[in-house]
Amino acid sequence: MAEKTEQRVAVVTGASRGIGEAIAHALAEQGRHVVCVARNAEKLEATAKSIRDAGGPGGASVKTCDMSDADAITELIESVAKEHGRLDILVNNAGITRDNLLLRMSDEEFDDVIQTNLRGVFVACRAALRPMMRGKWGRVINLGSVSGIVGNAGQANYAAAKAALAGFTKSLGKEMAAKNITANVVAPGFIQTDMTDVLPQPIKDAAQKAIPLSRFGQPREIAAAVAFLASEDAGYVSGQVLAVDGGMTMC
């Protein structure tokens, strides 16, 4: 194992675009070294370069991984801990959608989403807890969704995975509290990303009407919530589901 550095080390999955990219920037600005993870190496390199060009004190590096591959996830986490001598922060942001109405949803569409969005998180957390326990400090932030709180037509698989993350994360928080490791969920609402940009305008209009703040959120607003939960100041916050959704779930 490499000699342990003083700088905290964070792993952010799904860091090649959108919310994950914004989270990587926010943590680097806090002075964390961010290991950016996704499947597309070229896009990851662009994220890491933009972090370095911005002059964030934390810096960034890149690792590719398929978050549906349990062995690859475990190897990823272990390699980060070995190379840096520590792993302090895990942000499970990577996820997929396979939207379809339930009557038309195939077993494969259901299983693919559960495999990546839930089982992948479980495997990553299990691997990350060991170096966090050695360091006697840790922050786990899992990205949920308002779909996991209120449901969403055509997303029974996605909503199931995100709802399960809440119970999973609360259980993790209780198990790890004595080890000074916290675990929380940030549940975004409608956020302006390339995924929402392609939605038909009538769907965007209907969604905006359901948001009390009457607008889509920005990736940096999700990143700010994650950055707080990953900080030293959030040591007394664990087992929480923080909806960052413009008020959609306040009722």
Query: How far is it, in rounded angstroms, from Cα 124 to Cα 78?
Result: 10
Q: State how far the Cα of 239 lies from the Cα of 204, in Å rounded to an integer.
A: 32
CATH number of the domain residue 139 falls in: 3.40.50.720
- What span, in angstroms and rounded, lies between the C-alpha atoms of 229 and 225? 6
Q: Is the dihedral of CA 242, 209, 94, 103 positive or negative?
A: positive
To the query of whether residue 158 is one of the catalytic residues in this protein, the response is: yes
Q: What string of H, E and C letters represents the secondary structure of 113-151?
A: HHHHHHHHHHHHHHHHHHHHHHHCCEEEEEECCCHHHHC
Whether 247 is covered by a domain: the verdict is no
Task: Give per-residue pLDDT as tens, 7-52.
Answer: 999 999 999 999 999 999 999 999 999 999 999 999 999 999 999 9
Residue 250 is assigned to a structural domain of this protein: no
Asked if the structure places residue 4 within a domain, the reply is: no
Helix axis angle for 219-229 and 18-29, nearest 10°, is: 50
Q: pLDDT tens for residues 48-94?
A: 999 999 987 889 999 999 999 999 999 999 999 999 999 999 999 99
User: Comparing 3 with 202, which gets the higher pLDDT?
Assistant: 202
Number of structural domains found in the chain = 1
CA pair distance 8, 126, nearest whole angstrom: 19
Q: Which of 158, 168, 190, 216 is catalytic?
A: 158
- Residue 136: domain span: 9-239
Token look-up 């299983």 returns 111
For residue 251, being part of any structural domain is answered with no
User: Is there a domain that residue 114 lies in?
Assistant: yes
